[in-house]
Chain A
C-alpha cells in the first residue's frame, strides 16, 4: 500500500503540480 500510494502521490499528484512550475524545458537536441 505504501508503495502504490507513494507512486500515486509522487508520480501523479505532485508530478502534475510540479509540471505547472516554470522549470526550464528539457534539452531535446531538436532544432527550434
Chain B
C-alpha cells in the first residue's frame, strides 16, 4: 500500500490543521522511507509470492523485521514524532508519531502474515507474524486504497477551501492543492497497480 497512506495523511491534515502537510505525508511513509535503504543494503527484502510477477500489486512477502515489526514501527514512529516535536511542538509531534504508526496498521490490513511483533527473531522462526491478507484479493485492496484516497483528498480539499476564505488567490491555491492531492493519489495508485 502506498497511495492509501497518503490519503490517510490528507484526512488527518483536515483535522490537524497546524501540522504542516509535508510532515504528515513524510510521516505516513516513514517506515517505508527507512525500509528502502535497508532493502538496497540487503538487510530487509521483498519476496514475490509464488507465481507472481516481480513488482505485481500486493504480490510480495515483506521481510522487514526492523521497519515493519510492531516494536520497530513503534520505535521509528516515536523517533519521528520526537524529532518533529522539537520544531513543531508537542501536540504536532504526537500527531505525527500516530500518523507514522498508522502505516503499520494499514499495512496490517493488506499484508499477508509477514509483519512480526519483534525484530531480531532468528529468521522469524517461532515468531508471531501478523497480516490480514487483503492483498490476496487485489481488487478489494485497490478499492480500499482508492476509497481512502478519495475520502482523504475530499476532506483535505474542503479544509483547504475553508482556510482560504474569500481571498481569490488563496481560494485558487486551495483548489489547486485539493485537486493535486486527488490526482497524485490516483496516479500513485495507478502506477502501483501497474506494477511500477
Residue B160 contacts which of A11, A18, A27 (CB distance < 8 angstroms)? A18
Number of interface residues of A (CB under 8 A): 27
In the complex, which range does the number of interface residues on chain B fall in?
35 or more
Distance in Å: Cβ of B138 to nearest Cβ of chain A = 15
CB atoms of A23 and B187 under 8 A apart: no
A1 to B192, CA, bound (A): 8
CB atoms of A21 and B164 under 8 A apart: yes
CB atoms of B196 and A7 under 8 A apart: no
Q: Does A24 contact B (CB under 8 A)?
A: yes
- Show the binding face of B for A, using Cβ within 8 Å: 2-3, 6, 9, 13, 17-22, 25-26, 29, 32-33, 36, 87-92, 160, 163-165, 170, 173-174, 176-177, 180-181, 184, 187-189, 191-192, 196
Contacts of B29 in A (CB 8 A): 3, 6-7
Residue B6 contacts which of A10, A17, A24, A29 (CB distance < 8 angstroms)? A10
Residue A17 contacts which of B13, B176, B187 (CB distance < 8 angstroms)? B176
